[in-house]
Structure 1
Amino acid sequence: MLGQMSDHPLTLVHAFNRAERLFAEKTITTLTATGRERQTYGEWARRTRRLGGALDALGVAPDARVGTFAWNSARHLELYFAVPCSGRVLHTLNIRLFPEQVTYVVNHAEDEVVFVDRSLAATLLPLIADAPSVRHVVVMDDGAGEVPADDRIVDYEALIGASSAVDFHVDDENQAAAMCYTSGTTGHPKGVVYSHRSTVLHSLGVMLADTLGVSERDTILPIVPMFHANAWGLPYAAVMAGSALAFPGPRMTPVAIAELIESERVTVAAGVPTIWAAALDELDGRDLSALRAVVCGGSAVPQALSEAYERRIGQPILQAWGMTETSPVGSVCTIKSTLADLPADELARLRASQGIPMPLVEVRIVEPGTTHEVAWNGSDHGELEVVGPWIAASYYGAEGDRGSSFAEDGWLRTGDVATISPDGYIRLVDRTKDLVKSGGEWISSVELENAIMAHPAVLEAAVIAVPDERWGERPLACVVLADDHALTADDLRAFLSTRVARWWIPERIEFIDQVPRTSVGKFSKKTLRERFGAG
Structure 2
Amino acid sequence: MTTPLYGQMMDVPLTVSSLLAHASRHFGTTEIVSKRIEGDVHRYTYRDCERRAKQLAQALMALGVEAGDRIGTLAWNGYRHLETYYGTTGFGAVCHTINPRLFPDQIAYIVNHADDRYVLFDITFAALVDVLAPQCPNVRGWIAMTDEAHMPRMSTAASSYEALLAQHDGAFDWPELDERCASNLCYTSGTTGNPKGALYSHRSTVLHAFGASLPDAMGLSARDSVLPVVPMFHVNAWGIPHAAPLTGAKLVFPGKDLDGKSLYELMEAERVTYSAGVPTVWLGLLNHLREAGVKFSTLQRTVIGGSACPPAMLKMFQEVYGVEVIHAWGMTEMSPLGTLAKLTWEQSQRSPDEQRKLREKQGHVMYGVDMKIVGDDGRDLPWDGVAFGDLHVRGPWVIDRYFRSDASPLVDGWFPTGDVATIDKDSFLNITDRSKDVIKSGGEWISSIDVENVAIAHPAVAEAACIACSHPKWTERPLLVVVKRPDADLTRDDMLAFYEGKVAKWWIPDDVVFVDELPHTATGKLQKLKLRERFRDHVLPSALDIENCPFDEKEGHALRHVKTDLS
User: Does the pair score TM above 0.5?
Assistant: yes
Specify the alignment match of 2:245 in structure 1.
239
Deviation at 1:147, TM superposition (A): 3.3
Deviation at 1:3, TM superposition (A): 4.7
1:186 aligned to which of 192, 196, 221: 192
* 2: CA distance, partners of 1:145 / 1:482: 40
Contact 2:189 2:195 in 1 (8 A): yes
Deviation at 1:479, TM superposition (A): 0.9
Specify the alignment match of 1:371 in structure 2.
378
CA, structure 1 residues 490+144, in 2 after alignment: closer, same or farther (shift >3 Å)? farther
Runs of 5+ consecutive residues of structure 2 not aligned to the other structure: 539-567
- The amino acid that maps onto 1:393 is D
Instruction: Please list the CA deviations of residues 96-124 of structure 1 after superposition, one character each: whole Å capped at 9, or x if unmatched.
Output: 11111101111111000000001112112
Specify the alignment match of 1:307 in structure 2.
315
Deviation at 1:175, TM superposition (A): 0.4
Specify the alignment match of 2:335 in structure 1.
327
Specify the alignment match of 1:485 in structure 2.
488
Specify the alignment match of 1:514 in structure 2.
517
2:88 aligned to which of 83, 98, 109: 83
* 2: CA distance, partners of 1:2 / 1:323: 35
Contact 2:295 2:321 in 1 (8 A): no
| Percent identity of equivalent pairs | 45
* 2: CA distance, partners of 1:254 / 1:25: 30
* 2: CA distance, partners of 1:327 / 1:455: 34
1:119 aligned to which of 120, 124, 141: 124
Contact 1:57 1:163 in 2 (8 A): no
Matching of residues 249-260 of structure 1 within 5 Å:
249-260=255-266
* 2: CA distance, partners of 1:128 / 1:297: 33
Deviation at 1:377, TM superposition (A): 0.2
- Secondary structure (helix, strand or coil) at the match of 1:477 reads strand
- Secondary structure (helix, strand or coil) at the match of 1:129 reads helix
Output the aligned Cα RMSD.
1.6
Deviation at 1:141, TM superposition (A): 2.5
Deviation at 1:287, TM superposition (A): 5.7
1:36 aligned to which of 19, 32, 41: 41
Runs of 5+ consecutive residues of structure 1 not aligned to the other structure: none
- The amino acid that maps onto 2:50 is A
* 2: CA distance, partners of 1:145 / 1:427: 48
Contact 2:133 2:156 in 1 (8 A): no
**1:381 matches 2:381:** no
**1:435 matches 2:443:** no
Superposition TM-score, scaled by structure 2 size = 0.91
**1:66 matches 2:66:** no
Specify the alignment match of 1:11 in structure 2.
15
Q: What is the count of residue pairs matched by the alignment?
A: 529
* 1: CA distance, partners of 2:128 / 2:415: 34
* 2: CA distance, partners of 1:30 / 1:2: 46
* 2: CA distance, partners of 1:414 / 1:128: 34
- The amino acid that maps onto 1:170 is E
1:106 aligned to which of 107, 111, 118: 111
* 2: CA distance, partners of 1:474 / 1:318: 32
- Secondary structure (helix, strand or coil) at the match of 2:264 reads helix
Contact 1:13 1:170 in 2 (8 A): no
Instruction: Please list the CA deviations of residues 405-427 of structure 1 after superposition, one character each: whole Å capped at 9, or x if unmatched.
Output: 421x1211111111011000101
**1:141 matches 2:146:** yes
- Secondary structure (helix, strand or coil) at the match of 1:209 reads coil
CA, structure 1 residues 131+2, in 2 after alignment: closer, same or farther (shift >3 Å)? closer
- The amino acid that maps onto 1:419 is T
Matching of residues 174-253 of structure 1 within 5 Å:
174-253=180-259
Specify the alignment match of 2:284 in structure 1.
278
- Runs of 4 or more consecutive aligned structure 1 residues displaced over 6 Å after TM superposition: 142-145
Deviation at 1:149, TM superposition (A): 2.9
Contact 1:92 1:180 in 2 (8 A): yes
- Secondary structure (helix, strand or coil) at the match of 2:349 reads coil
* 1: CA distance, partners of 2:285 / 2:243: 25
* 2: CA distance, partners of 1:283 / 1:43: 35
Contact 2:73 2:120 in 1 (8 A): yes
* 2: CA distance, partners of 1:287 / 1:265: 13
Contact 1:476 1:507 in 2 (8 A): yes
- Secondary structure (helix, strand or coil) at the match of 1:277 reads helix
* 1: CA distance, partners of 2:184 / 2:374: 31
Deviates more, 1:274-283 or 1:83-92: 274-283
**1:355 matches 2:360:** no
Deviation at 1:13, TM superposition (A): 2.2
Contact 2:92 2:177 in 1 (8 A): no
Deviates more, 1:411-420 or 1:3-12: 3-12
Matching of residues 379-458 of structure 1 within 5 Å:
379-400=386-407, 402=408, 405-407=409-411, 409-458=412-461
Specify the alignment match of 1:496 in structure 2.
499
Specify the alignment match of 2:354 in structure 1.
346
Contact 1:92 1:226 in 2 (8 A): yes
Specify the alignment match of 2:534 in structure 1.
531
- Secondary structure (helix, strand or coil) at the match of 1:112 reads strand
Deviation at 1:170, TM superposition (A): 3.1
Larger radius of gyration between Structure 1 and Structure 2: 2
* 2: CA distance, partners of 1:195 / 1:121: 30
Contact 1:476 1:508 in 2 (8 A): yes
* 1: CA distance, partners of 2:417 / 2:176: 32
- Secondary structure (helix, strand or coil) at the match of 1:102 reads helix
1:336 aligned to which of 337, 344, 349: 344
- Secondary structure (helix, strand or coil) at the match of 1:416 reads strand
Specify the alignment match of 1:460 in structure 2.
463
CA, structure 1 residues 145+122, in 2 after alignment: closer, same or farther (shift >3 Å)? farther
Instruction: Please list the CA deviations of residues 331-381 of structure 1 after superposition, one character each: whole Å capped at 9, or x if unmatched.
Output: 11001111113222222221111010011210101114x531111000110
Deviation at 1:2, TM superposition (A): 6.9
* 1: CA distance, partners of 2:82 / 2:133: 23
- Secondary structure (helix, strand or coil) at the match of 1:216 reads coil
**1:23 matches 2:27:** yes
Specify the alignment match of 2:156 in structure 1.
150
Contact 1:262 1:286 in 2 (8 A): no
Instruction: Please list the CA deviations of residues 201-250 of structure 1 after superposition, one character each: whole Å capped at 9, or x if unmatched.
Output: 00001111111111111111111010110100000110121111000111
**1:95 matches 2:103:** no
Deviation at 1:305, TM superposition (A): 0.8
Deviates more, 1:264-273 or 1:500-509: 500-509
**1:56 matches 2:64:** no
* 2: CA distance, partners of 1:55 / 1:333: 41
Superposition TM-score, scaled by structure 1 size = 0.96
CA, structure 1 residues 372+456, in 2 after alignment: closer, same or farther (shift >3 Å)? same
Instruction: Please list the CA deviations of residues 479-512 of structure 1 after superposition, one character each: whole Å capped at 9, or x if unmatched.
Output: 1122332111112212212111121112221111
Contact 1:417 1:429 in 2 (8 A): yes
- Secondary structure (helix, strand or coil) at the match of 1:274 reads helix
* 2: CA distance, partners of 1:335 / 1:289: 25
